[in-house]
Structure 1
Amino acid sequence: MAGIEREITLRFLAEPADVNFGGKVHGGAVMKWIDLAAYACGAGWSGKYCITAYAGGIRFLKPIHVGNIVEVTGKVIYTGRTSMHIGIDVKAGEPTSPLKQLTTHCVVIMVAVDESGVATQVPEWVPTSEKDIKLRESAITLMQMRKKIGDEMAAHVAE
């Protein structure tokens, strides 16, 4: 049911196929996991198929090692008419320990679409806690910053 599930966590083991040349989990693998969690979160909130419109502000804080338990949590932090801003945290740690460290963070914007691929309305998310109000305000600030960056980048796009 739409408008109920605001947060989701995907959990799995980092596998040898995820490793880069330096022996740690490849950033591209982490980005794939982020997209999967953002989709699951957006689809759960909207009750619709969703597409990725934007992924940004990604910060790789600590490496993930093969064999780590990885937790990718997506949480709706702002809703527009057809879009959802989803805060993503990636945490990892040894399977034998309950401790997980934040390794990566970013914001992903998902857009709900209908069967024809046309953007469709999503349920509004209204923050109630002080922390959630701050997350929503941050999402709005980031939106304004992306608009300015987009305007600056226009000079680099060939028509």
Structure 2
Amino acid sequence: MNKTYKHVEETRITISELMLPSHANFSGKIHGGYILNLMDQIAFACASKYSSTYCVTASVDTVDFLNPIEVGELVTMKASINYVGRTSMVVGIRVESQHIQSGNVKHCNSSYFTMVAKDDNGKNVPVPGLILNSELEIKRFLKAIKRTEMKKTRQDEFDRDDFIPENYLKDLENYNVKIELNG
């Protein structure tokens, strides 16, 4: 079988939406859940465009709300494939808001959505390989690998059957926590 490859450039998607009062939370800022919904939509569109299949969200990594978004601002989301596995893709998303009158642009959020390609029966299907054309694209691919490795290492360390909390009590001394172990 001939393996297909696609350039990162072919994966890029941009959407923009004006933020309305109906998108605001009780403090008058745009609700984070609404932004996450838009991010999930662009991640789906990006992954589906790349893989030419239906895709589902497997995980969301690093959602940091850096700056609030105001009603009346234009939100622009830019997405591209940063990494591909056999059936999965990591979609990098950058969220910016622009004040319409001043033109001032704020970086509001960056996040990584892991999407999995599916066939009509819900089975995982292989995705095309990724062609990396720049130092930035190589860096993004490597960072995705490192995030996955770190997550696996963390799971291996703390999800073990022989995990002993007492071995970590010293690590907790400078945190806002009180330990009261029973038994």
Q: TM-score, normalised by structure 2?
A: 0.79
1:91 aligned partner:
96
1:128 aligned partner:
133
What aligned pairs does 1:36-51 form with structure 2 within 5 A after superposition? 36-51=41-56
Q: 2:27 is aligned with what amino acid?
A: G
What aligned pairs does 1:72-151 form with structure 2 within 5 A after superposition? 72-151=77-156
Q: 2:60 is aligned with what amino acid?
A: A
| 1:58 and 2:71 are equivalent in the alignment | no
Identical aligned residues as a percent: 36
2:11 aligned partner:
6
2:166 aligned partner:
none
Q: CA contact under 8 A between 1:3 and 1:46: conserved in structure 2?
A: no
Q: Aligned partners of 2:83 and 2:139: how far apart in 1?
A: 11
Q: Report the RMSD for the aligned CA atoms in angstroms.
A: 1.8
Q: Aligned partners of 1:112 and 1:81: how far apart in 2?
A: 9
Which consecutive segments of 4 or more residues in structure 1 shift more than 4 A? none
Q: Aligned partners of 1:87 and 1:127: how far apart in 2?
A: 15
1:32 aligned partner:
37
Q: Aligned partners of 2:157 and 2:98: how far apart in 1?
A: 40
Count of residue correspondences: 155
Q: CA contact under 8 A between 2:53 and 2:117: conserved in structure 1?
A: yes
Tell me, which stretches of 5 or more residues in structure 1 are unaligned?
none
Q: How far has the Cα of 1:143 moved from its partner?
A: 0.7
Q: How far has the Cα of 1:40 moved from its partner?
A: 0.6
Larger Rg: 2
Q: How far has the Cα of 1:95 moved from its partner?
A: 2.4
CA displacement 1:77-114 (0-9 Å, x = unmatched): 11001011111100001224544221011111000100
Tell me, which stretches of 5 or more residues in structure 2 are unaligned?
161-183
